[in-house]
A and B are shown apart, each in its own frame.
Chain A
Amino acid sequence: MKNVLAPESFRLVIPSQTRYLNLVTGLAKRAAMIAGMDDSTAAKVSIAVDEAITNVIMHAYSGEPEHLVEVELRFALEALEIHIWHTGRGIRDDQVVLPDPREYVKHPRKGGLGLLLMSRFMDEVHFLEGAERNECCMIKRVG
């Protein structure tokens, strides 16, 4: 039975291992193109997805490989929504501190750039803490 009111979407669940990153980013790029984005924009979406899932694997799960990361690509009206759920350590929007790129140029150092790329390449990035699992939601509008 088809639900014509709900946005079309698909989900996949991967182990919390970086070897699956390229699988998901490839899907995200294709999904962005199906949603109507050009190749350049779709590439930026895929980078944002790479960064978001890497954050989950490396920080929320501290690199432990036995956990699960659930990803949903949702084709909303004139936008692609990407929802990423995990049961590791969560953060909220108000805890996110984006580094200032100008400071990076003055004082080069490792780390902290993933969130900045996510925020620059997507129209919206949200972090939500839930009772049982936590979510990162990213939205990229078409056009």
Chain B
Amino acid sequence: MADLSIQVHEVDGMAVVQPEGFINAHTVRQFETALETLVKAEKFTILLNCQKLSYISSAGLGAIMGLIETVRENQGDILLCSLQENVFAIFDTLGFTQLYRVFGTEDEARQALAGKTE
């Protein structure tokens, strides 16, 4: 199995990024490239579905932090959903759950976004 594979699809104008595996200093470039590609394509609302993400290190958090200002300046956001316990612990420990909206499921994130845009 690859260390990291990333699926990207679009739902209701939102880009859904689904990493499978782990994000650390070894795999972060792949993750960063996936996010940068979306931003270059002007997809500024990005949902990270972390259901299959086994762990993320500070390298991966840095990749998200590096783009948050750009997407928000363009009326977008980076949302998170389906975090495994240890991944949630990493975000929560660093106070990132105050920075990013976290949802239990992809559907909840989509509904929240639809409510915002109605």
Contact = CB atoms under 8 A, between A and B. Distances in A.
A51 B86 contact: no
Contacts of A22: 3, 22, 24, 26
Contacts of A114: 57-59
Interface stretch (A7-15, A74-82, A98-106): A98-106
Interface stretch (B11-19, B45-53, B65-73, B101-109): B65-73
Interface string B84-118: 01100110011110110000000000000000000
Interface in A108-122: 108-114, 116-117, 120-121
Contacts, number: 80
Contacts of B3: 22
A104 B58 contact: no
Contacts of A40: 85-86, 89
Nearest to A121: B93
A35 interface: no
Given A40-B85, A104-B95, A114-B57, A21 B90 contact: no
Contacts of A21: 24-26
Q: How large is the interface on A (under 10, 10 to 19, 20 to 34, 35 or more residues)?
A: 20 to 34
B69 A47 contact: no
B58 A108 contact: no
Nearest to A46: B55
Given A54-B59, A113-B58, A104 B25 contact: no
Given A18-B24, A18-B25, A50-B24, A44 B89 contact: yes
A22 to B, nearest CB: 6
Pairs A-B, 5 closest by C-beta atoms: A18-B26, A43-B86, A113-B58, A101-B95, A114-B58
